[in-house]
Structure 1
Amino acid sequence: MDYSIPKLLASAGLLVGLASAAPSSSPLYNSVIETKYGKVQGYPAFSSEPTGNLTNWKDITVWKGIPFAADTAGENRFRPPQKASSWNTTLDAKSFGNVCPSATSDTNLTISEDCLNLNIWSPAKSTGAKLPVVMWSYPAESTAADALFDGGGMADKGIVFVNYNYRTGSFGWLGHPELNEEVYKATGHNSSGNWGMLDQMEAVKWIHENIADFGGDPNHITVMGQSAGSAATYHILNSPLTKGLIKHAIIESGVRDPHDPLCTSLAEGYKTQEYVMAQGLNYTAEKNVSTIAELRKLPMSDLEDNVLDGWSFGATLDYYAMPAKYAVTLKEGAANNVPVLTGNTKDESGAEKQTNITVAEYLADLDDTYTTGNWSKRFLELYPADNDKRADGAYNSMWTDRSKVGTWMWTQLWAESSNKDVYTYFWDHAPPGQDQGAYHESEINYVLNNLYATDKPWTAKDYEIAAKMNGYWSNFIKNGNPNGDGLVHWSPTADDARVHHVGNGWGPIPVASKAKVQLFKEWFATLPTY
């Protein structure tokens, strides 16, 4: 077995007992587990000790490919996830399940509309262990089979880790007037287009109903994700469809002040119903069909290239799964009022380690970004550049600060309607073997403590950083508070414009200078909300 990518396929069901009860001191892979849908066999996550910080690796069981909902092909295409079917033989949960179309270009994976499956890593030695649970939502162009999202490192800390697949592209986000009629008949809500979002919420519901039999506590679920996965987490946090099902939320590289135009492409991004209906009609016509019934009969391959063809699919503001604009939910309060951990990396969302930008290009970018009034001049005063080298640094600094300030401002808005703590981080460590700096996604290996799973020239320093990062995140998953022994104290976000530095340093630092924070505040105040 290749322990660097612990394989796990699995079943989809509520466990009601053990087919062959194992001793309380025995890992669950020594048992065949009886579930609501059939028997399931898990496997050791590791065949030998992985390199890194893991101490309980021998106890970790992994189940792969457990269906949490039915095949989404045919009549289930463009519909909410349906309940999974049962099976008669023991499900050999050794390999990852199918992945959803349009999710990835990895030709080594099996692409199928029968893709709503999840994977579980559990260190439990008893189905009654009641360990805290975390559900990981992956970023765009990824799948639950990606080694970057291996759950063994988090399970080593006494946490049941779950990741899952969800629909994307037209399969996950197509809206259409006919589909609105179907949803209205079923729910009384005139909406469609959020099939991927409903998959994400169905995964939470499945975990709540079934995870106890894998040693997890159904009343202690943290939802967690990065980038597009942070959007999934934010949807779950806000939606009344998941109210009461989660205990904490971790939103990596996601939320901003709702005035920031970056919100259109981050966790807060969405399409209006008007846009979605028009696109759905155009999409149907482009496929040379006139009805949803005909669209459901087309081969899967006919619907896979939509991004390349210029279609723009994503979350829909449907006032059902997504109940309101994020500015409204920030004011009125989210459906799930829980502690939140959120933050950004240094070199993302416009910031790049090296852009080789010239002064002329930098000035043009300022004019294009801050298009009205005297804003570009004011930003140039605080982010000056009189040669190309300084232009490169000023460009990176301005976009990095925008992320930090925007996220900190989101926490201030969140605090107005919530009495739960928010913890905000800033990650600046560049993983070895690359030249992109602390790029988008660069914190994931460290947070999940799974450096063993990916092929980079890790150093002793990287393992040290991973131990601390995973310590903060696992503490938060367990307690709603990242603090613990051996870690620099992390205070909840307050109105003092500070953020917790992680990576190349540890502890509170200013979000930005007071003048820069004030400038972003003033600029954001002139813009509409998203």
Structure 2
Amino acid sequence: MMEKLASALMMCGIVNAALYEGVISTSHGQVQGHPAFNSTPNGNLTNWKDITVWKGIPFAASTAGENRWKAPKPAGRWNGTLDAKNYGDICPSTSSNSEYTISENCLNLNIWTSATSTKQKRPVVMWSYPAYSTAADALFDGAGMADAGVVYVNYNYRTGALGWLAHPELSQERFNTVGFNSSGNYGMLDQFAALKWIHDNIEAFGGDPNRITVMGQSAGSAATQHILNSPLTKGLIVGAIIESGVRDPHDPLCETLAENYRNLTFALNQGLDYLADKNTSSIANARKLDYTTFVDSDFPPTSSSWTFTATLDHYALPDTYENTLRKGAANDVPIITGNTRDESGATYGLNITIAEYFADLNETYSGQWVDKFLELYPGNNASQASESENQQFTDRSIIGTWIWAQKWKQAAKSPIYTYIWDHAPPGQSQGAYHESEINYVLNNLYGTDSPWTDEDYEIAATMNSYWVNFIKTGNPNGQGLTRWDKSNSKEITQRLGDGFGPVPLALANRVKLMEEWLLTQPVW
């Protein structure tokens, strides 16, 4: 009798105990969580014994068959208690790892928390992963965030043709359902659906539905930016962390990097050609084919010529990036955004010839701009040419992000914080590469086998503190941390990694040159 009473009290949030000791009720059924650790993890986690993880919880129905290329539908109710011990299926992708089960029934999420009561209403963060990844990747484990008092959620979403195909028939379907004559962005709608599920259910996991921050890196930063911008998510978030994503909408890299999109005309024409290439004449027929028909290689030398990415549909993606900045995003919330030193064209340890450097400059800048860039980024020998090649791309990222921040502030009241990450994790030769900050901000060094040092654990503790403070308050600053000022008209950003504190964007004449060149480029 006493055991039943204790269980009942725990379900009501009265008894303080790790949440894996009880069953959680969601809008679709009950779920049983599990301890995140069975023994002490490496690193600086202090509440690890209380951390519960739930894996593979459906947030939407299967996307197979008649649900293919449709907005995600609500998950059905399940009978009994879902044992959330293992990751769910992952969405089809050209890079899908064979260790995972792949299917179109892949819209599921995972939750970590150290809450000991369902009534604690802790701040929540939703993580969107980068391209060629999955929510089951150890790099995105959320126990480090949970240890610091944040309810952390990651999730799967559709990619490739299955996530982004546009087609006239699909546009007609959307017009019939929501009144918008456009299509594509089904992966984006998955991202929105995950956010809405979290908003509706996270309180049962000790989270506060009114304190959700969205966060992601690379393609996940694009997801975060779309959530920030879209009227379909208005009012659902209180903050956004955009890692290796935004840049001045005049930058040509907007066409090829994570935040790229295509106009509707391009997407519709491609959709017609794509189905013809698959020897199917209609969406109805295409929905009857095995999903593997629509998984196309993204990797050379066998990569396809198809471009499946976000579409400017004026529904999920409401406007161009430039217009959204000028008019104001749907969600005016605090933002952290920045880059790593060795990404977006910058390659650590680069070794090129003077001729190769000149050729790259002519391809990138052309005309009168080549001499202007060569004056400030000289290449008088191979070593200098290699250094200049990298530096102009690093500067371009830092300056472009700062320009984006200045444009954001014109229509927004909320603060924005920018950074440059420059720490190279041990055991590799790519420097402060794309994705290299993730282990540190999530404080999950315990989950990977890199040869971490005491310095790495210290950096992770600092990085995680900045991120957690922001998730909790909208401001990254806190006790014991080097102050991080919000972005303003001063040409500075925050250095994170091998040092912490404000640093100039670049040499003043380089900032001026980059700004002038960007203004001559077409706008996104």
TM-score range, shorter chain: over 0.9
Q: Does 1:310 align with 2:305?
A: yes
Q: Does 210-219 or 301-310 show the bigger shift? A: 301-310
1:323-472 correspondence to structure 2 within 5 Å: 323-372=318-367, 374-472=368-466
Q: Partner letter of residue 365 of structure 1?
A: D
Match of 2:206 in 1: 215
> 1:385 is aligned with what amino acid?
G
Of 492-501 and 19-28, more deviation after overlay is shown by 19-28
Say whether the 8 Å CA contact 1:225–1:251 is kept in structure 2: yes
Output the CA distance in 2 between the equivalents of 1:19 and 1:290.
Answer: 56
Q: Which residue in the other structure is 1:206 paired with?
A: 197
Q: Which residue of 2 aligns with 1:300?
A: 291
Does the CA contact (< 8 Å) of 2:94 and 2:297 recur in 1? no
Does residue 245 in structure 1 map to residue 236 in structure 2? yes
In the alignment, the residues of structure 2 paired with residue 418 and residue 32 of structure 1 have an alpha-carbon distance, to the nearest angstrom, of 42
The reply on whether 1:261 has 2:261 as its aligned counterpart is: no
Aligned to 1:475: 469
Q: Which amino acid aligns with 2:142?
A: G
Q: Aligned partner of 2:106: which letter? A: C
Shift of 1:267: 4.5
- CA drift of 1:115 comes to 0.1
Q: Does 1:235 align with 2:208?
A: no
Deviation of 1:21 after TM superposition, in Å, equals: 5.2
**DSSP-derived class of the 2:514 partner:** helix
Deviations 1:458-493 (A, max 9, x none): 000000000000000000000000000110000001
Structure-1 residue corresponding to 2:153: 162
DSSP-derived class of the 2:498 partner: coil
TM-score, structure 2 normalization:
0.96
Match in the other structure for 2:99: 108
Q: 2:32 aligns with which of 31, 41, 49?
A: 41
Partner of residue 5, structure 1: none
1:504 to 495, 498, 505: 498
The answer to whether the 8 A contact 2:34-2:85 is kept is: yes
- 1:358 and 1:23 map into 2 onto residues whose CA distance is 68
2:232 & 2:465 partners in 1: Cα distance? 31
* Contact 1:32/1:41 (<8 A) preserved: yes
How far 1:425 moved relative to its partner?
A: 0.7
Distance 2:436 2:14 in 1: 40
302-311 or 148-157, which moves further after superposition? 302-311
How far off its partner does 1:126 sit?
0.9
* Match in the other structure for 2:168: 177
Distance 2:297 2:358 in 1: 35
Q: Which runs of 5+ in 2 are unaligned?
A: 1-7
For residues 14 and 271 of structure 2, what CA distance do their matches in structure 1 show?
55
How far 1:277 moved relative to its partner? 0.5
Q: In structure 1, give the amino acid aligned to 2:483.
A: H
Map of 1:321 onto structure 2: 316
Cα deviation digits, residues 412-460 of structure 1 (max 9, x gap): 1001001110000110000000000000000000000000011100000
Q: Aligned with 2:462: secondary structure?
A: helix
TM-score, structure 1 normalization: 0.95
Counterpart of 1:281 in structure 2 is 272
Whether the aligned pair in 1 keeps the contact of 2:357 and 2:385 (CA below 8 Å) is yes
Contact 2:12 2:118 (8 Å CA) reproduced: no
Match of 1:490 in 2: 484
Q: State which of 215, 218, 235 in structure 2 corresponds to 1:224.
A: 215
String of CA shifts for 1:187-216, please: whole Å, max 9, x gaps: 000111110000000111110111000000
Offset from partner CA, 1:247-306 (integer Å, 9 cap, x none): 000000000011000111234311111111111001110111100000000011111125
1:139 aligns with 2:130: yes
Conserved? CA contact 2:91–2:159, under 8 Å: yes
Structure 1 window deviating more from structure 2 (52-61 vs 299-308): it is 299-308
**RMSD between superposed Cα atoms in Å:** 1.2
Secondary structure, aligned partner of 2:209: strand
Q: CA deviation at 1:22?
A: 6.6
2:50 is aligned with 1:59: yes
Name the SS for the 2:144 alignment partner. Answer: helix
User: Following the alignment from structure 1 to structure 2, what is the Cα–Cα distance between the partners of residues 183 and 222?
Assistant: 29
Distance 1:103 1:289 in 2: 21
1:336 and 1:20, CA in 2 relative to 1: closer, same or farther beyond 3 A?
A: closer
CA contact (8 A) 1:103 1:142 kept: no
Alpha-carbon distance in structure 2 between the residues aligned to 1:244 and 1:319: 19
| 8 Å CA contact retained: 2:10, 2:16 | no
Q: Distance in 1 between matches of 2:309 and 2:437?
A: 25
Q: Distance in 1 between matches of 2:158 and 2:311?
A: 14
Report if aligned partners of 1:19, 1:33 keep a CA contact under 8 Å in 2.
no
1:85 aligns with 2:76: yes
Distance 1:18 1:235, change over 3 A: farther
Q: Distance in 1 between matches of 2:256 and 2:122?
A: 35
Q: Which amino acid aligns with 2:329?
A: A
* Matched length: 513
Q: Kindly report structure 1 stretches of 4+ aligned residues shifted beyond 3 Å.
A: 17-23
Instruction: Tell me the residue number matched to 2:5.
Output: none
